[in-house]
A and B are shown apart, each in its own frame.
Chain A
């Protein structure tokens, strides 16, 4: 496998693109450095580093127990790192997490709670509200209606959450995540439990969201990955980052031990051929995330060409 053979052409392209992006946003949306987390004496995340620029979309795949949810929760500041750090727009999660929207892994909380869809979606506004009572303003209510409209559940607004179907509940949860107009949206397997017709619409919704915000998504769903993500990261305690268009089944199978269903879904079609401009670039790059500059290379190349799709 050609690894550290990045051509100079590519290096230049990467540098140019990085410079131009620096003019727009000098701070990355999310920066994680050497994040290590232990739980119950086990290493769940081992020196994970990544940098996600504003506007990028980032897919995280990996086996069950690989630490995907743990990674998202540490970005949210819900799990404290044992070493390393997480920064959201240059600040700690506690300071800037109001900029995030979060869709938890399905059924990790109690859907039978007596609450209307509207009230549930409104709780996503609380991060913006000051004052001891945290009362909702008309603006908050308008945003909630907007979010429910986006997800196509406005007609269900005054129904009780527990009376909704699983897919409708999932839409409500996504509405809650976007109601605060987040800059970064974290989604933990958003399409699990969703039937295929709804899944189609989900992909459209996700494509729309990609346009508006930075998206980090944990998924096993190839449909989602092909709906235009810039970077694919494979997480199995350690993190491996890929240039999205170049991921091959061999890589997944041999190197990263990612779930077999990925391969079954035929990700192998998605190779380099429709990116002829990339000929000088190695067929695929992967590495243990140890050196930042190399990771930057991967990511920059990625957005550049991904953007031209």
Chain B
């Protein structure tokens, strides 16, 4: 036991470890804000579509020889924009469309990675995340994205609240609901890009929704949901990083399993308290 603690303390001496913790904190904060909207607006499958479309961008990056994360960013934002434009079509159609984007994004990625000559480095990392490999430059990038998300949410808070609560009424109040929703979707796309670094494409939905879903059980205010789910997200990622470091297991999966366990415990606690 003492060995483990000593090992963890010494881990702080490594830059990669500090970076991992920082990346976890930054991504969790973005998740706390955006994940709350995703959970409230039931956009879970939609975010799944956006995050999986990212793999197409990763493949394109490999194939054309630019940064895969840049490709992922372009694909995520483009998908979010398309969905924002088409979301007024009938709901079941939108659902199918999201499914199609989800699968097509993955398919494009697989094909392009296959066609890329040689070995695709870090491919596994994009799919399943490896927070222990986040470079310092990436931390600054994530910090800038997070600052933008916080600023936009603070500025447009009243409008975001009104539009996500009752879009029609917000429109009657002369709020540009379509633009606000588009803004929210783009911020979701940006958050997903941050998350891909931490938990990977496959697991982004989980980190985006689990903390917010737990927070929702315990508060009836949107702003408190932001704070609570941020704290929860930071707890999950930090614990996950420590665990995966000491046990030498994949970090992304560890983080998500901690989150899922917490979610189940929270639901049980809630039902138990109600009795």
Q: Please report A residues at the B interface, Cβ cutoff 8 Å.
A: 73, 76-78, 94, 97-98, 100, 102, 104, 109-110, 113-116, 119-120, 123-124, 126-127, 132-136, 160-163, 176
Contact = CB atoms under 8 A, between A and B. Distances in A.
A104 B168 CA distance: 9
A109 B166 contact: yes
- Which residue of B157, B158, B164 has the most chain A CB atoms within 10 A of its CB atom? B158
Given A133-B155, A160-B220, A160-B221, A115 B165 contact: yes
- State which size class the interface on B falls in: 20 to 34
5 contacts: A76-B172, A98-B173, A102-B169, A134-B159, A136-B158
Given A113-B164, A119-B161, A126 B219 contact: no
B170 interface: yes
Contacts of A109: 165-166, 168
Contacts of B165: 109-110, 113, 115, 120, 123
Interface of B: 40, 155-159, 161-162, 164-166, 168-175, 216, 219-222, 224-225
Contacts of B157: 133
Contacts of A126: 158-159, 162, 170, 173-175
Contact of A115 (B155, B156, B175, B222): B222
Contacts, number: 84
Nearest to A159: B220
Contacts of A98: 173-174
Given A109-B168, A114-B224, 12 more contacts: A73-B168, A76-B171, A110-B165, A115-B221, A119-B221, A123-B165, A123-B166, A123-B170, A127-B174, A132-B156, A133-B158, A161-B220
Contact of B172 (A127, A136, A162): A127
A176 B219 contact: no
> Which 9 residue pairs are nearest across A and B when measured between Cβ atoms?
A160-B220, A126-B173, A127-B173, A123-B162, A134-B158, A114-B220, A109-B166, A113-B165, A76-B172
A102 B158 contact: no
A161 B40 CA distance: 14
A108 to B, nearest CB: 8
B169 A135 contact: no
A123 B169 contact: yes
Contacts of B164: 113
A88 to B, nearest CB: 11
Contacts of B40: 110, 113-114
